[in-house]
Amino acid sequence: MSEEGDTTSVTITIRPVGPFLVRGPVTLVQPDGTEIVPPVGKTPGVIKLCSCGFSESKPFCDASHKRCPPPPTTAAPPVTD
């Protein structure tokens, strides 16, 4: 991630179908601290992270979501106490 005091913003866009789009300077690391180098994408500065769980190149998207069943068309009801 960016160093403390860095004012460069990172935006993560969650879409109903497709990958999470990460825009901005980020560093992805394995649990052991090893850096994960993202694949070269079509859009510089954007990392696409898998949100469907079917990608063969996790944590990155490989468009496997196109073969997944469609998401529900209604939102889950709000949680009440």
Better-predicted residue by pLDDT, 73 or 35: 35
Give the per-residue pLDDT at 2.
44
DSSP letter at 47 equals E
Q: What is the pLDDT of residues 52-66, one digit of tens each?
A: 888 999 999 998 888
Distance CA 73, CA 1 (A): 34
pTM, to two decimals = 0.70
Distance CA 41, CA 45 (A): 8
Q: What is the pLDDT of residues 9-66, one digit of tens each?
A: 999 999 888 899 999 999 999 999 999 988 887 788 899 999 888 899 999 999 888 8
Q: Residue 19: how many CB atoms within 10 A of its CB? A: 23
Beta bridge partners of 20: 49
Beta bridge partners of 35: 29
